[in-house]
């Protein structure tokens, strides 16, 4: 499946479907209405958009519509961060990860896994990364040239 953009509102619907697979629209609406002031028609519009984008499937059983995610949460999150990394200078990946770590909350177990992953990467990491961006598409300075 080709990676497509997903809106913040669509993310909320997907999160419900990942947490509660095979939900009816009324159940999805009920789970979202506590935190969002969306009308049922708004949620149904979001469901239709996600169905069109092939993120979810709809099944009619005895006159009722049930919805299921067609992409796993982990797969979508990985596709999302990979797309972000693919569209930024590789010399800035570390800065972004440090910022994410500083701004996020983690359990002791999460931090231990992060530490182990970093230790493993250190063994083969280059001293410095080389920018692979096309000229004119990066601010890292590797392609700096003077304009006259």
Do 65 and 93 lie in a common domain? no
Q: Which residues contact 124 (CB under 8 A, 6 or more apart)?
A: none
pTM for this predicted structure: 0.74
Mean pLDDT per 10-residue section of the chain, whose length is 148 residues: 76 96 96 90 96 96 95 90 90 93 96 96 92 84 54
Q: What's residue 137's pLDDT?
A: 83
pLDDT at 138: 84
Total of domains in the chain: 2
- What pLDDT sits at residue 3? 53
Here the CATH number for the domain that contains residue 43 is 1.10.10.10
pLDDT score recorded for residue 30: 94
Token couple for 74: 């982990």
Question: Is the domain of 62 the same as that of 103?
Answer: no
Q: 31 and 59, same structural domain?
A: yes
Same domain, 64 and 99: no
Q: Which domain holds residue 114?
A: 89-135
């Amino acid at each position: 499946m080709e990676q497509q953009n997903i809106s913040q509102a669509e993310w909320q619907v997907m999160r419900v479907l990942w947490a509660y697979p095979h939900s009816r629209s009324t159940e999805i609406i009920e789970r979202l209405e506590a935190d969002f002031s969306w009308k049922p028609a708004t949620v149904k519009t979001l469901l239709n958009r996600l169905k069109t984008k092939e993120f979810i499937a709809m099944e009619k059983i005895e006159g009722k519509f049930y919805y299921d995610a067609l992409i796993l949460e982990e797969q979508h999150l990985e596709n999302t961060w990979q797309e972000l990394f693919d569209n930024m200078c590789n010399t800035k990946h570390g800065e972004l990860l440090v910022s994410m770590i500083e701004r996020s909350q983690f359990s002791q177990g999460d931090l231990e896994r992060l530490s182990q992953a970093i230790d493993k990467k250190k063994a083969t990491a280059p001293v410095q990364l080389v920018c692979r961006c096309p000229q004119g598409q990066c601010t890292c300075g590797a392609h700096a040239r003077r304009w006259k």
